[in-house]
Amino acid sequence: MKAVHFGAGNIGRGFIGAILQQSGYEVTFVDVNAELIDRLNQDRSYQVVLADETKESFTVDGVSGINSQENPDKAVSAIAEADIVTASVGPHVLPFIAPVIAKGLMKRAEGSAVNVIACENMIGGSDQLKAEVAKHLTEDVAKKVFEFSGFPNSAVDRIVPIQQHENPLTIEVERYFEWVIETAGLKGEQPSLKGALFVEDLVPFIERKLLTVNTGHASIAYNGLLKGYQTVKEAMDDSEVVALLEGVLTETSLFLTDKFDLDQKDHQTYVQKIIERYRNPYISDGLDRVGRAPLRKLSAGDRLTYPAVELDQKGNEPAALEKTIAAALKFDVPEDPEAVQLQAWIVQDGPEAALEKASGIKAGSSMSERIITYYHQSN
Ligand SMILES: NC(=O)c1ccc[n+]([C@@H]2O[C@H](COP(=O)([O-])OP(=O)(O)OC[C@H]3O[C@@H](n4cnc5c(N)ncnc54)[C@H](O)[C@@H]3O)[C@@H](O)[C@H]2O)c1
Ligand SMILES: O=P(O)(O)OC[C@@H](O)[C@@H](O)[C@H](O)[C@H](O)CO
């Protein structure tokens, strides 16, 4: 069986590529990073190390790489022959991988069933990828292609920080992982993927994950950076950062348990497990990585604004989320293009207008006023 995975980065090598290989797939990574692709083709394998006291490691072998910038046709052919296609490139990159996927799917002469799964931190990731692919197909061709190509949504959870090793392919990951895939979007037989969970309705799973793991993470990053910390570990040693983390998780728990009728006790166990994962002493994760792409994180459907607005509309005042949104407006990392854009908007139009542009929270609304007050109160 053949798998094509877009993005040989942290989640690509450390999670999805490893699961695919352990499930019996021969994995071809498609990436634009020449160093990673050359090394994959040279070594044909890499090491995954578990970030806990065991430091256990395992080999992912039988892998290869295609540089889609240099050899787009090779990537197209690989998709034409693949049994499964997956991607973890970041939400903003989905439009760039779509043309190659569209061409590859069109080339599947037999029209044999294939599933294309976006493994990104977003709601409806595969739906979005499908919409991007559709832009490169005529209406008639799209109809045919989507008869045999499934785009099931999925939720992925495993903390994999940015890291440096002598061998650039080696990747250290936490032992914990969760890959949930929605059956509704599948075509053909359900793929056999070791450790993956197939569910009829992904919405409760992706929202629980995004609004707990990622909202909590974002609060640690933005509030931690405000206090001058660089890593999750440093920030988690500060009681004020932890209090805000507990505050945002109390707020998103209220939203999630109400929306999905979750058992309060089970949800609390889930939240506590995540706080333990943030505290993993064997992982050093940078706040710049966790807070990266602030415009995406502040956008209306993402981890901060979405629960804050929903809670506000139900008559709650989500103060911890609002303080975190205010802290996100201060995310000023010159290497991060979205941070540069956000700071430029703040300088040009002021924080209130920048907040509205980034999140849709209307300037002059009571929520906007509270966030901007927090913004001016913070250092
Ligand atoms: N790292 C984590 O802890 C984690 C956990 C769960 C989900 N995610 C999600 O997984 C996705 C990837 O995150 P990551 O941490 O692995 O990032 P990463 O930067 O390590 O990996 C992304 C990879 O995509 C490649 N890429 C960029 N443009 C490309 C293109 N046009 N074609 C092919 N490849 C391209 C990059 O070169 C890079 O190797 C994101 O959506 C992220 O939210 C990350
Ligand atoms: O990848 P992002 O930028 O959406 O979010 C940063 C982190 O919160 C994220 O990568 C987590 O480490 C991951 O989602 C854990 O499963």
pLDDT band at 153 (very low <50, low <70, confident <90, very high): very high
- Unique residue bearing structure tokens 């956008």: 299
Mean predicted confidence (pLDDT) in 149-162: 98
Which ligand is in closest contact with the Cα of 293? 2
d(CA 29, CA 37) in angstroms, rounded, equals 8
Residue 283: Cβ-neighbour burial (10 angstroms; 0-12, 13-18, 19+): buried
Residues whose beta carbon lies within 6 Å of some atom of ligand 1 = 6-12, 30-33, 68, 88-91, 93, 96-97, 120-121, 156, 158-160
Q: How far is the CA of 16 from the centre of ligand 1 (A)?
A: 11
pLDDT digits (tens, 9 = 90+) for 106-152: 999 788 999 999 999 999 999 999 999 999 999 999 999 999 999 99
Instruction: List CB contacts of 182: < 8 A, sequence separation 6 or more.
Output: 152, 153, 154, 198, 199, 200, 201, 202
Residue 58 CA from chain centroid, whole number = 24
pTM: 0.97
Strands (E), the chain: 2-6, 26-31, 45-50, 57-61, 64-67, 84-87, 114-118, 149-150, 154-157, 171-173, 178-182, 196-199
d(CA 258, CA 208) in angstroms, rounded, equals 12
Structural domain 2-201, CATH architecture: 3-Layer(aba) Sandwich (3.40)
pLDDT digits (tens, 9 = 90+) for 54-66: 999 999 999 999 9
pLDDT digits (tens, 9 = 90+) for 241-273: 999 999 999 999 999 999 999 999 999 999 999
Q: Please indicate whether residue 293, judged by its CB atom, sits closer than 6 Å to ligand 2.
A: yes
Strand (E) or helix (H) holding 78: helix 72-81
Mean predicted confidence (pLDDT) in 209-221: 98
Q: How far is the CA of 290 from the centre of ligand 2 (A)?
A: 6
CATH of the domain spanning 204-377: 1.10.1040.10
Domain with CATH 1.10.1040.10 in the chain: 204-377
What are the tokens at 54? 């065991």
Which ligand is in closest contact with the Cα of 297? 2
- SS3 call for 96: helix
